[in-house]
Amino acid sequence: MPSTLREPAAEPPFKKTPNYVQTLARGLDVIRAFDRDRPEMSLSEIAERVGLARAVVRRLLMTLEYLGFVGRRDRLFFLTPRTLELGYRYLASLGLPELAHPLMRALADEVDESCSMSVLDGRDIVYVQRIPVRKVMAVTLTVGARLPAYCASMGRVLLAGQSDAAVAAWLKGRRFPALTPFTLTDPAAIAAEIRRVREQGFARTEQEMELGLCSVAVPVRDGTGCVIAALNVGMPFREGARDWMMEKVLPALRVTSAAITQSWAAAHPARRP
C-alpha cells in the first residue's frame, strides 16, 4: 500500500507514447467531473468542464451508461453507485483498513474520540478508515475524503516517512495557503516540522486545519519498518487538550499502531504493501 509523493506533470512524456490510452483517460476525466457541487450535469456542461468536444463526451457518457457507471434523467447525467466499486476495490486490495478496524474501534472507545487512518496521495492525505465518535470538523470526513497534507497531523507523519530529498521535491514551487491564523505556510518551517516529526515519532497539530480542532498522529509501519499509513485521533481544541493528547491519547495511539503493524506483518510475512 504505497503512499506516494509523485504527481503527474501537466504534459507527462508518457502521453506521447503508444502505451497511452487516450480514451481511458478521457473516460476517467468524465467520471471525475462530477462532485458535490455538480452531482448532475448536462452534456454541454460536462464537455465544458473536461475541455472536450460534445461528440466525444457523448460517446464516453453512452459507454459509461452502458457499463452502469453513469445514469441519465432527461438531459442530465449523474454517477451511479457502481462507481463506488472503483474505490472499494482499492480498499479491498489494501487489506490494512479492514485489519485495523477492530483495533481502531477499541482505541476510539478507550479515548472517546474519533480515530482515522490515511495514506498519502500527491499533495493530499486520503482517508482509508475512520471510526467517528463525534463530528469535530466542518467538513464531513469519511473513507475517501481528502485533506491537504501540509497542515494535517497524518500528512506530516506520512511526509516524515519519506527522505529529505523527496520532501524537498514535494515542497518545491508549491504554495501553502493559510486555512487558519495558526497554519504553517512557510516551506522552510513546514520542512523543519516534518524533520521534527520524524525525530519524535509523532505529529501534533493545533487549529492549523480548522479553528477549534487539534489532533495527534503516529505512523503505521509494515514488517520492514517502512511507513505505510498514518493513524490519528482528532478532538476539539479546548483547555487541557494538549495535556490530554500527550498523556493519554498519544500512548494509546502508539500501542494501537504497534498492534496494527504486528497484525499486518503476521498476515503478510513476505509482502510489502
Residue 208 within any structural domain of the chain: yes
**Phi, psi (deg, nearest 5) at residue 254:** -65, -40
Percent of the chain with pLDDT over 70: 88
Q: Tell me how crowded residue 219 is: count the other CB atoms within 10 A of its CB.
A: 24
Residue 53 and residue 104 in one domain? no
User: What does the pLDDT look like over 150-164, one tens digit per residue?
Assistant: 999 999 999 999 998
How high does pLDDT run on average in the chain? 87
Give the pLDDT mean for 9-31: 80
pLDDT of residue 20: 82
Q: Are residues 78 and 128 in the same domain?
A: no
Does one domain contain both 103 and 237? Answer: yes
CA nearest to 155, candidates 212, 201, 194: 194
Calculate what percentage of the chain has a pLDDT beyond 90.
Answer: 56
The answer on 150 and 244 residing in a single domain is yes
Q: Read off the pLDDT of residues 175-212 as tens digits, 9 standing for 90 and up.
A: 899 999 999 999 999 999 999 999 999 999 999 999 99
Task: Tell me the three state secondary structure of residue 111.
Answer: helix
Verify that 57 and 107 share a domain, yes or no.
no
Domain of residue 115 covers 95-267
Helix (H, G, I), strand (E, B) or coil at 17: coil
The domain total for the chain is 2
DSSP β-bridge partners for residue 220: 229
* Domain boundary pick from 82, 109, 141: 82
Q: Which of 243, 166, 173 is nearest to 198 (CA)?
A: 166
What is the pLDDT, as a whole number, of residue 273?
42
Euclidean distance between CA atoms 41 and 87, whole angstroms: 22
User: Cell 518551517 appears where?
Assistant: 189
Same domain, 78 and 114: no
Of 209, 230, 232, 210, the C-alpha closest to 221 is 230
Task: State the average pLDDT over residues 46-73.
Answer: 92
CA distance 147 to 81: 23
Is the whole model's pTM more than 0.75, yes or no?
Answer: no
**Residue 128 DSSP SS3:** strand
Same domain, 129 and 152: yes
Backbone angles phi, psi at 110, to 5 degrees: -65, -45
Residue 78 sits in the same domain as residue 118: no
Last residue of a domain, one of 34, 54, 82: 82
Task: Please report, for the domain that includes residue 43, its CATH number.
Answer: 1.10.10.10
* Neighbour count for residue 137 (Cβ, 10 Å): 15
pLDDT of 10 > 60? The answer is no
Q: Is 273 a member of any domain?
A: no
pLDDT at 152: 95
Crossing angle (nearest 10°) for helices 164-171 and 187-200: 150
Inform me whether the pLDDT recorded for 141 exceeds 80. no
